[in-house]
Structure 1
Amino acid sequence: MTGSNIAVVIEDDPDIRGLIGEVLEQAGFTIHAAGTGADGLELVRQHDPIVTTLDVSMPGMDGFETAKRIRAVSQTYIVMLTARADEIDTLQGLQAGADDYMTKPFRPRELRARVEAMLRRPRVTASHPEKSVAAASEPVEERADAGWLVHRGLRVHPEMRLASADGTELDLTRSEFDILADLMESGRRVVSKTDLAIMLRGERHTGASGFVSEHDTRAIEVHVANLRRKLGESAVQPRWIETIRGVGYRLTAS
């Protein structure tokens, strides 16, 4: 079972590592810290944290490679931290499996807020299922008795956090799964990139109306592109997810 109050901090700068650890300790986490990607990966294996912060520029195995290896063994929430604000680095981080991406210098309050927002999103283990996104008023093609949402061979179970396409299980990151589940729940109703960004921050049902930046909406585009790649579909001739240019996404027609 994943530790609900355990966090792993992977950062080669001891001062920043200490600051992150202090911020997360104040938020109620038990901290395990490492200065290299290899050591951090081992901590993730040992402690199965609910959240992991990860520096990009580290000696040896960098943050991108570390994120890929962590994602292969854990569903921990990954927040990547970097001094590089280039868009290509942001995209590479999200493609490596990160759930969020922050540039240094960062405000401790913002880091804590980002982590707390992720934890408001559904997290499920085999023995502790939690209620997921609420059912939309517009049904999808088929809603099975067991809680499955089905559309043209694509099957998603929000509470068990399972997804498959044509009988093949999909290996999705948390953000990819949450976006797919939200689109499945919404059916043919268009879901905007802004709304998806707010959903990923866990703020849709809290009444919060936080600012959604261009970075946030670009991150949604990357998540959807990664999701499509794993589904094996084209954005030009989609089987499942249709792009509504300038707005967002919706399911294709049945």
Structure 2
Amino acid sequence: MTQTEPNAESTLIAIVEDDPEIRALVTGLLEREGFEAAACANAADLDRLVERRRVDLAVLDIMLPGEDGLSLCRRLRARGDTPVLMVTARGDDIDRIIGLEVGADDYLPKPFNPRELVARVRAILRRTRDVHRATQPMPQREVFVFAGWRLDAASRDLTDPGGRPVELTGAEFDLLVTFLRRPQRVLNRDQLLDWTRGRSAMPYDRTIDVQLSRLRRKLGGADLVRTVRGGGYLFAAPVERG
């Protein structure tokens, strides 16, 4: 295991899937990879689990009996920052976009390649391990100040010019930090995908556009991230780093 890989043995992944065969398949797959996996048939099962344990990642099926995956993802985001991998059997892109809008870190359409599922799980855990695993060492403190805003990269605390906290999902945080480390420089979509999602990115992946739209809204609609025609995106404000 390399230093960049999450420690599977201390990582709990919840699989929320109503189909017993798929639930058993995914649970067994992740356990063979060395993760601790908890099978949940519905939202109520997950609620009971999170009352007892810290969940490091939730793999949510959209189509669930009772409360669906989108509603469950929204609740998880409202009460904490548990990373979410959304799984959908629907081919319509609108479901994936809505999943990202409500805070999912990534999505995977069914039927999926088991290796791709594991790769996406590992990619999400690598991006979020400093926040969701207390056993990880604290990253070096890095503070960004821009246009009255302040982001503490170690604690992931973002405050607006009025000092009010603004909550970011893991994917939004990764995207913002990517811009803040490279201000006033044009970044194309492929670069953003590589720096925020790494090997889990797929060709023609449009999730960056969705996440960027959400990030712009959370930044108050300010013209901080500009679209450069034919080039990509540019973080326009000067950035001071502490």
Shorter chain as denominator, the TM-score bin is 0.7 to 0.9
Superposed CA RMSD: 2.1
Aligned to 2:207, the other structure's residue is in SS state helix
Alignment-derived partner of residue 192 in structure 1? 188
Structure-2 separation of matches of 1:164 and 1:112: 34
The question of whether the paired residues in 2 share the 8 Å contact of 1:8 and 1:49 is answered with yes
The alignment's TM-score, normalised by the length of structure 2, stands at 0.86
Letter in 2 for 1:178: D
Separation of aligned partners in 2, 1:211 and 1:99: 12
Matches within 5 A, 1:35-184: 35-125=41-131, 128-131=136-139, 147-166=142-161, 167-184=163-180
Could you list the per-position Cα deviations for residues 143-192 of structure 1 after superposition, in whole angstroms to 9, with x for gaps in the alignment?
Answer: xxx63111101211222222111111111100001100110111111222
Contact 1:41/1:69 (<8 A) preserved: no
1:29 to 32, 35, 49: 35
Relative to structure 2, which stretch is displaced further, 122-131 or 74-83?
122-131
The residue type paired with residue 78 of structure 2 is A
Please tell me the residue identity of whatever aligns with 2:228.
Answer: I
Give 1:193 shift: 1.5
Deviation (angstroms), 1:67: 0.4
State the 1:74 CA deviation.
2.8
One of 213, 217, 221 as aligned partner of 2:203: 213
Change (3 A) 1:98 1:122: closer
Q: Following TM superposition, by how much is the alpha carbon of 1:46 offset from its aligned partner in structure 2, in angstroms?
A: 2.8
Q: Is the 8 A contact 1:64 1:96 kept in 2?
A: yes
Within 2, Cα distance between the matches of 1:177 and 1:12?
Answer: 31
Are the counterparts in 2 of residues 90 and 101 from structure 1 also a CA contact under 8 Å?
yes
Aligned match of 1:252 in 210, 217, 236?
A: 236
- How many Å separate the matches in 1 of 2:225 and 2:138? 26
Change (3 A) 1:16 1:123: same
Distance change in 2, residues 1:69/1:42 (3 Å)? farther
SS at match of 2:104: coil
Post-superposition offset of 1:38 = 2.7
SS in 2 for 1:188: coil
For residues 34 and 60 of structure 1, what CA distance do their matches in structure 2 show? Answer: 13
Q: TM-score, normalised by structure 1?
A: 0.82
Q: Cα 1:246–1:27, aligned 2, differ >3 Å: closer, same or farther?
A: farther
Partner residue in 2 for 1:140: none
Counting aligned pairs with the same residue, the percent is 39
Matched position secondary structure for 2:194 = helix
Q: d(CA) in 1 for partners of 2:177 and 2:95?
A: 27
Q: 1:65 offset after TM fit, Å?
A: 0.2
Q: What does residue 138 of structure 1 align with?
A: none
* Structure 2 residue ranges without an equivalent (≥5): 1-8
The answer to whether the Cα contact below 8 Å between 1:120 and 1:202 also exists between their aligned partners in 2 is: no
Looking at structure 2, the residues matched to 189 and 70 of structure 1 have their Cα atoms a distance apart, in angstroms, of 35
* Aligned equivalents of 1:54, 1:249: Cα separation in 2: 31
Letter in 2 for 1:68: R
